[in-house]
Structure 1
Amino acid sequence: MVSNNQLFHLFLFLCFFQITCLHAQLCTQQQTSALLQFKQQFSFYKYADYGSCDSVGILSYPKMESWKEGSDCCSWDGVKCDNNTSQVIGLDLSCSWLNGTIHPNSTIFNYFPHLQRLNLAFNDFGMSRISSEFSRFTRLTHLNLSCSSFSGKVPIEVSFLSKLVSLDLSYNFGLRLEEPGFELLVQNLTKVRELNLRDVNISSVVSNSLLNLTSLRHLDLSECRLLGKFPDGIFHLPHLNELSIFGNLALTGYFPEFINSSSPLQYLDLSYTNFSGELPDSIGNLKSLKALKAYDCKFYGSIPTSLGNLTEMTDLFTGMLPSSLSNLGNLVHLGVWGNNFEGKIADFLPNVKSLLYLHVESNSFSGPFPSLGANLTKLVYLDLSNNQLRGPLPSQIIGLPNLTWLGLGDNLINGTIPSWVFSLPALGYFNLSNNKLTGHVKEFKSTHLTVVDLSNNSLHGRFPSSTFKLVNLSSLILSSNNFSGELDMLCHAISLQILVLSSNSFNGSIPRCLGNFSIYFYVLDLRKNNFSGTIPDTFAKENYFETINLDSNGFEGPVPKSLENCQMLQVLDLGHNKFSDKFPYWLGNLTSLQVLVLRSNKFHGPILNSKFKFPFPNLRVMDLSNNYFTGPLPRKYFKNLNAMMNVDEASFELQYLGTPSPSASIYYYNDCLTMVIKGSILEMAKVLTIFTAIDLSKNNFEGEIPQIIGKLNSIRGLNLSHNSLTGHIPASLANLTMLEWLDLSSNKLTGEIPQQLRNFKSLAVLNLSQNQLIGPIPQGNQFDTFSNDSYIDNLALCGPPLLNACNPRTPQPPPLMFQQEDNTSSGFNWEVILPGYICGLVWGLVMGYFMFSRGNLSGL
């Protein structure tokens, strides 16, 4: 039995233990107050991390909300205290929705001398500077300020934190580490094991002091604008297992020799640098290497056969791939995309059970599709696209139960699609576009399909309706084949985002369910088919349509008024149909609309002034040609086409109109456009966002060309031909300095060609034929390149390139754009010579000139 004395001692021990525990849990009042004051500096914004926490799998929530007055700060979320001293030794406020600024006088710098770990990653500190006061944390071993919107110069005082074993300043795109900051940093942080400066602007040569960091395990200097030659010795640091210098375009170097097999390197990324030379055979000594990346470098030569010792490779280099690659028995990931490799894939494809990913797209591989064999049962990703593979696909392949990605597009594969392709149970991405395939498409076994692209082949017949019922299907691209049938099954495609059926033989009408796709549908491309009937007036509010292209079908009736609900719409092409309607003025309320094509229909009546104050503010292309529009040209619309005015093209990044797949960056739809350009009908497979043009030709417009059209100084093409326009050619057209083609032919224009138009520098095609123009043709610049065809069938034009010379006494118009009338500047004494010119040609020219000059002043 336990004696009373023993029980008493046990009781004392428990009391002492409890008192000790309570003491260890209590945070000092000073530190509690300091943390609460620190909390007051911020507001909580859910998206302060811009979604980064979710992308890396870290839970995002406002940790500071648990910080309350009167409670023990050691129990607060994100706070860690020393069990013996109750001092705060750790603060983890990563992904805490913090939005605000850390001021140099913040309480956090004054009352936490024992702090060892500080993590402020994935917040938004409003591009504030990193304070030099961080140097007060002299015991700090881990500092993480990554992805938190810091900017400015990294203070030199950070290098005084000599006990740091981990420093992460990555993904703060406004940070810079100026000399001698980088040198001091690597000189003083001799204990550091993890150093991540990705995206910090260093802009200097790589410090040789890095060679002294013998404890370094992880080094990331990606996109730091490093210069000069990268020191070979860094590759040989005794504990280094991850090294990335990705994206330093001016960084040079050679792949080092690895004499022994003791290197712990597992991950090596040299992509987008200026590394060059051969890969040494000693690379095979990197027994631990799992990932080798070298996109867009300047390596050359064959891949050493010793690579067979690597456990995993993700990227190789330019040069020839030897068949000895088939000896890589442990290979998991082979990626050689975007190089210049040649030969047959079957010559090097490793016959190993461990292979998961095979990236060989965008090379010059030829020969037949390889026989994958039954051993590749783990294969998940297979992309052989954009090569020169020939012949049919194998009629039978056993296995591939895990294959989710099959990319065979842009090759020379012919024959039919074998049954094993449709039977792949896990297939999610399927691309056989741009080949020479024939035959029918069978039903897919996989229910996971997200993208199906069979475009640009010779497939025919009815497309299996069951495909439209796949709940995950987001992109279906069948263009340029000979598929047929109706679209009733479209109503089952509840997740469809991109539907491209152009250049086929589909027929029937569009089902009324079309407009109900208010959440997912982005692109509807049905051009060049045999569809007919009216367009359902069922477009729901708050839909996400960006492109609707129905060109070259048999649609009729009015334009559905519910299209006004498509506020995201950028491209609307209804050309070459049988629509019969007045001009749908309400489309002017679509503020995102950039391309409007109504050409070759039965639209009629005048284009009245818009009921909207600023119609079509972003319209870049307007094609209303070959209809039955009447009345004057739409002056108010010209006045508000802001996207055709004062465009600074130098500030524009070269982009095409199009729509990425919203679910993932696995498919991108490029808008196309058919239009009369420089006198010829052209189909643009891609449309630059800086392309601007107006085509109102082949209608019944009348009246004068408004001066206001001269404000569209960023327009590249203007076609007003085959109308009944009268009056003079406005001199304000000379403001259209970007103009590449101008067609005013087949109208009733009178007067002279304004001499100001000779200032055109980009004009390649001019057609003023079949009008009533008179007087001298402007000379110089682009006008010296135009032939007689530009001027035929006018009343009395003269001068080159025509054979009839101008009367030397004919007065020349003043050179200025909008010169005022000046009756004394012509050099003529009207009281003396007027009677002799009343019936003469010169009198007509002079009067035409002065009428035109008045028009310049009053027509604006």
Structure 2
Amino acid sequence: MVSNNQLFHLFLFLCFFQITCLHAQLCTQEQSSALLQFKQQFSFNKSASYLHCDSVGILSYPKMESWKEGSDCCSWDGVECDNNTSQVIGLDLSCSWLNGTIHPNSTIFYYFPHLQSLNLAFNHFGMSPITSEFSRFTRLTHLNLSASVFSGKVPIEVSFLKKLISLDLSGNYDLRLEEPGFELLVQNLTKVRELNLGDVNISSVVSNSLLNLTSLTLLDLSSCGLLGKFPDGVFHLPHLIELHISYNLALTGYFPEFINSSSPLQHLRLISTNFSGELPDSIGNLKSLKTLYAPFCKFYGSIPTSLGNLTELTRLAISYNNFTGMLPSSLSNLGNLVKLGVQYNNFEGKIADFLPNAKSLSYLYVGSNNFSGPFPSLVANLTSLVELDLSNSQLTGPLPSWVFSLPALCYFNLSNNKLTGHVKEFKSTDLIAIDLSNNSLYGRFPSSTFKLVNLTSLILSSNNFSGELDMLCHAVSLRLLVLSSNSFNGSIPQCLGNFSTYFSVLDLRKNNFSGTIPNTFVKGNSFEIINLNGNGFEGTVPKSLVNCKMLRVVDLGCNKFSDKFPFWLEKLRWLQVLILSSNKFHGPMPASKAKFPFLNLRVMDLSDNYFTGPLPKTYFKNFNAMMNVIEANFKLQYIEKSLVGSMYLYAYHYHDCLTMVIKGSTIEMAKVLTIFTVIDLSKNNFEGQIPQIIGKLNSIRGLNLSHNSLTGHIPTSLANLTMLEWLDLSSNKLTGEIPRQLNNLKSLAVFNLSQNQLIGPIPQGNQFDTFLNDSYIGNLALFGPPLSDTCSDPRPPQQEDDTNSSSGFNWYVILPGYGCGLVWGLVMGYLMFSRGKPQWLVRIIEGERNESRKRFKKHAHRNRGR
């Protein structure tokens, strides 16, 4: 039995406990008011947080909405109080939709002297600086300002927070930590365990003071612009679990030796650094290692067998290096692997010899090596595969049907092999990207594939697939469709133009498609590249193409289009390539009325059509992308489309391919540089003179106006085209002399003026010494090397007159030439008939032949040397 006295004491204890708890839960009025004033500095916008938070799996919501006047601030969302003192000791406002700036006079800096933890990550603070007032929180042990759009210089005062255990400033791409800030930070924060400065611009040599941070468990200095050699000792810090120094392109170092197996290191990322050398055999001592990412480095040599000892390893990526030899069979011991990436090295052997039998393996990238043999059968057991890349692996034989039954596939790349057979229906409904290009697959491609609601990329080029595209309308998420070089047929479905949201690349070149192109392109569509070259399309160019505001490439060459020039395309300001060659386009090209027609056009190929009238002078005048291009100011890029994948960019990366006549030969370019600039108007019925204005296009590489009916002189302004590599004006009716100013075209490799009515001497020196007779044949009044007729010009020297007569022949040049030949012929004929076959004449003639051969060989050798 419990006595009354005991009950009384129990009652008193409960009352005291309740009063204590109530007292502990009530924050002070001044702290409550300070927090409410802090709240008023911000608006709440979901876009300020949700992208970052979703990517790391954190729920985002406006925590401050629960903060109401009159209620206990210790009960507010994100606020933590000390149970004994009621002082606010923690603020977690991460992922809280905060949109605004934090001012130095903010109340938060003056009423919270006991604050120990402050988390403002994943908000949007409007590029405001990190104020030095943060140093007032002298008791802070945890400070997280990551990915919250801070900018400017990190104040040195942050290094005064000597009690910090965790500091995270990562993900603020406009933050910089200038000297001596980084050195002070490392010297003062001796208790820090987690130091995350990823994406903060440090741009200095790595401080050796890092070796004094013996409590570090996490160090992230990725994308910091670090320079010089990374200290080996950092790898050996006694408690270091995670080390991330990726994306520091100027950072050098070697993979260190690990003499004993006591290292706690679990996660190591060296992506895109200048680390080099071989992997040491002692890597097998890192028994705790779970993640090793070292792609895009400069490692070389063979992979040590000891790597197979790392049985805890879940992620191994050593792609894009210079590793050689065979991957050790010991890798089959890595039964916990989730990701394996070894592509783009020089490994050899058979994939089956090293492939781990890991039931959890979800990401397998082994393409672009020197592997060979049949499709590895072990893949059939990897039922968790989400992404599979066996591209460029020299795989041969039939493609096994079971590969289409892998249930979880999202990314599937078998491109550039020698696989044969049919493609079956895919079991996975989650497929996002399929790349089977450059194999020997054949038959009808399963139409059910187009019904996959997540499919964004389908690349089947260079096979022998057949069938129609009647199911294309179901591919509602498709962004990239490349079916080139197959046997597909039929017409394009009417729904094509209705893809308004995603569809950006349509490549159907070199197939058997026919019919007309639907005139259904809606406003707001995303098409960037449309390549229909080499089919049987006919009719007119749909005017609704003008709705494709993002178009960069339109290639309709080698079809049966019959239309006038589609001048409305001049409104597409991003258009870089326009190819209408080998069709039945006709009529004159109208003078443009647009203010800036074809503003970014770099390639115009209208060759082999029936265009008439004068050359398009107004277009030449406004081709701004072909004028005054300073290549040193441009990063060399290809005309391409990239769609973001998960680990790398493979099937999501598309280079536009063009087929053009370049330097006299038909060439297919698998990649097209954005600085590639060409005009080809050959094989039409253009007439009139070549306008002087064409000389403004001083950045073009190739100009082909051959096989037209152009008249007049070669404009001297062509000498301004200093980047020109080939110039073809052959098979026209051009008159006058070859301008000596063209001698300035020092990049010119191919030059063709044949079959015109040109007169006078051929300029000598520079590139003209490399051109052979073929460049000038068919111009009866031209003379001088390399032509075999070397009779000199009888006229006295005179300045070139660009306004000479337009007549095709100048008789004062031709008649003396005939005279010279006539006298020589009569004399030689008389001697031969009167004396038989004089040996002295034979020696002269044979000597001339030998000299001619020597000159020809000399010019041919120079031309090849160019």
The TM-score by the shorter chain falls in which range?
0.7 to 0.9
| Equivalent-residue separation in structure 2 for 1:530 and 1:431 (angstroms) | 25
Does the Cα contact within 8 Å between 1:753 and 1:777 map onto a contact in 2? yes
- Structure 2 residue 406 is matched with structure 1 residue 424: yes
Does the Cα contact within 8 Å between 2:293 and 2:315 map onto a contact in 1? no
Equivalent residue for 1:489?
Answer: 471
Equivalent residue for 1:316?
Answer: none
Q: Provide the aligned length of Structure 1 versus Structure 2.
A: 804
Shift in alpha-carbon separation, 1:101–1:792, aligned structure 2, 3 A: farther
* Pairs within 5 Å for 1:38-117: 38-48=38-48, 51-67=51-67, 72-117=72-117
**Counterpart code for 1:610:** S
Displacement of 1:732 = 2.7
Displacement of 1:738 = 1.9
Q: 2:721 aligns with which of 719, 736, 743?
A: 736
Cα deviations by residue, 1:483-517 (Å, 9 ceiling, x for unpaired): 22222232333332222111112222222232233
Q: 1:655 aligns with which of 624, 632, 637?
A: 637
Displacement of 1:727 = 2.6
**Counterpart code for 1:409:** S
Equivalent residue for 2:840?
Answer: none
**Counterpart code for 1:382:** L
Please state whether the residue corresponding to 1:524 is helix, strand or coil.
strand
Please state whether the residue corresponding to 2:332 is helix, strand or coil.
coil
Q: 2:416 aligns with which of 407, 422, 434?
A: 434
Displacement of 1:187 = 2.1
Equivalent residue for 1:325?
Answer: none
| Equivalent-residue separation in structure 1 for 2:227 and 2:571 (angstroms) | 52
- Structure 2 residue 482 is matched with structure 1 residue 500: yes
Q: 2:683 aligns with which of 691, 694, 698?
A: 698
Equivalent residue for 1:793?
Answer: 778
Shift in alpha-carbon separation, 1:40–1:734, aligned structure 2, 3 A: farther
Displacement of 1:11 = 8.1
Cα deviations by residue, 1:425-447 (Å, 9 ceiling, x for unpaired): 32332222212222332333333
* Pairs within 5 Å for 1:223-302: 223-276=223-276, 279-297=279-297
Does the Cα contact within 8 Å between 1:559 and 1:584 map onto a contact in 2? yes
Does the Cα contact within 8 Å between 1:374 and 1:399 map onto a contact in 2? no
Equivalent residue for 1:216?
Answer: 216
Shift in alpha-carbon separation, 1:519–1:256, aligned structure 2, 3 A: closer
Shift in alpha-carbon separation, 1:804–1:111, aligned structure 2, 3 A: farther
- Structure 2 residue 564 is matched with structure 1 residue 543: no
Displacement of 1:603 = 0.7
Please state whether the residue corresponding to 1:358 is helix, strand or coil.
strand
Equivalent residue for 1:521?
Answer: 503
| Equivalent-residue separation in structure 2 for 1:647 and 1:61 (angstroms) | 49
Name whichever structure is richer in helix by fraction: 2
Displacement of 1:88 = 3.0
Displacement of 1:364 = 3.1
**Counterpart code for 1:196:** N
Cα deviations by residue, 1:90-121 (Å, 9 ceiling, x for unpaired): 23333334444434333333333222222222
**Counterpart code for 2:731:** S
| Equivalent-residue separation in structure 2 for 1:678 and 1:529 (angstroms) | 27
Does the Cα contact within 8 Å between 2:357 and 2:382 map onto a contact in 1? no
Cα deviations by residue, 1:271-322 (Å, 9 ceiling, x for unpaired): 4444455555444333222123333555556544444442334xxxxxxxxx
- Structure 2 residue 583 is matched with structure 1 residue 616: no
**Counterpart code for 1:500:** V
Displacement of 1:73 = 4.2
Equivalent residue for 2:826?
Answer: none
Cα deviations by residue, 1:215-256 (Å, 9 ceiling, x for unpaired): 221112223344444444333333221122334444444444
**Counterpart code for 2:797:** T
Does the Cα contact within 8 Å between 2:488 and 2:513 map onto a contact in 1? yes
Displacement of 1:20 = 5.3
| Equivalent-residue separation in structure 1 for 2:697 and 2:9 (angstroms) | 97
Q: 1:567 aligns with which of 531, 544, 549?
A: 549
Equivalent residue for 1:680?
Answer: 665
| Equivalent-residue separation in structure 2 for 1:529 and 1:505 (angstroms) | 5
* Pairs within 5 Å for 1:380-529: 380-393=362-375, 399-529=381-511
Q: 1:806 aligns with which of 761, 781, 793?
A: 793
Equivalent residue for 1:140?
Answer: 140
| Equivalent-residue separation in structure 1 for 2:483 and 2:730 (angstroms) | 37
Does the Cα contact within 8 Å between 2:301 and 2:323 map onto a contact in 1? no
Does the Cα contact within 8 Å between 1:726 and 1:749 map onto a contact in 2? yes
Shift in alpha-carbon separation, 1:50–1:636, aligned structure 2, 3 A: farther
Equivalent residue for 1:122?
Answer: 122
Listed as ranges, the gaps of 5+ residues in structure 1 are 314-331, 822-837, 843-860
Displacement of 1:166 = 0.7
Bigger CA drift: 517-526 or 667-676?
517-526
Please state whether the residue corresponding to 1:365 is helix, strand or coil.
strand
Equivalent residue for 2:748?
Answer: 763
Displacement of 1:161 = 0.7
Equivalent residue for 2:655?
Answer: 670
TM-score, length of structure 1 as denominator length: 0.85
Cα deviations by residue, 1:133-160 (Å, 9 ceiling, x for unpaired): 2211111111122223333332222111
| Equivalent-residue separation in structure 1 for 2:204 and 2:350 (angstroms) | 49
Listed as ranges, the gaps of 5+ residues in structure 2 are 804-809, 815-866
**Counterpart code for 1:337:** S
Cα deviations by residue, 1:535-591 (Å, 9 ceiling, x for unpaired): 222223322222211111111111122222222222111111111111111222222
Please state whether the residue corresponding to 2:742 is helix, strand or coil.
helix
Does the Cα contact within 8 Å between 1:312 and 1:334 map onto a contact in 2? no
| Equivalent-residue separation in structure 1 for 2:53 and 2:356 (angstroms) | 40
Bigger CA drift: 189-198 or 710-719?
710-719
| Equivalent-residue separation in structure 1 for 2:279 and 2:350 (angstroms) | 29
Displacement of 1:355 = 3.9
Bigger CA drift: 152-161 or 93-102?
93-102
| Equivalent-residue separation in structure 2 for 1:839 and 1:343 (angstroms) | 74
Displacement of 1:683 = 0.7
| Equivalent-residue separation in structure 1 for 2:296 and 2:811 (angstroms) | 76
| Equivalent-residue separation in structure 1 for 2:811 and 2:389 (angstroms) | 78
Please state whether the residue corresponding to 2:471 is helix, strand or coil.
helix
Equivalent residue for 2:693?
Answer: 708
| Equivalent-residue separation in structure 1 for 2:615 and 2:28 (angstroms) | 80
| Equivalent-residue separation in structure 2 for 1:619 and 1:371 (angstroms) | 51
Percent identity among equivalent residues? Answer: 77
Equivalent residue for 1:832?
Answer: none
Q: 1:592 aligns with which of 556, 574, 580?
A: 574
Shift in alpha-carbon separation, 1:54–1:440, aligned structure 2, 3 A: same
Cα deviations by residue, 1:751-793 (Å, 9 ceiling, x for unpaired): 3333333322322222222233334444443333333332333
Please state whether the residue corresponding to 1:583 is helix, strand or coil.
coil
Cα deviations by residue, 1:18-54 (Å, 9 ceiling, x for unpaired): 6655554454444444444444544555444593232
- Structure 2 residue 530 is matched with structure 1 residue 552: no
| Equivalent-residue separation in structure 1 for 2:243 and 2:334 (angstroms) | 28
Displacement of 1:526 = 1.3
Equivalent residue for 1:158?
Answer: 158
Does the Cα contact within 8 Å between 1:371 and 1:397 map onto a contact in 2? no
Please state whether the residue corresponding to 2:569 is helix, strand or coil.
helix
Equivalent residue for 1:326?
Answer: none
Please state whether the residue corresponding to 2:346 is helix, strand or coil.
coil
Displacement of 1:629 = 1.0
Please state whether the residue corresponding to 1:783 is helix, strand or coil.
helix
| Equivalent-residue separation in structure 2 for 1:27 and 1:144 (angstroms) | 24
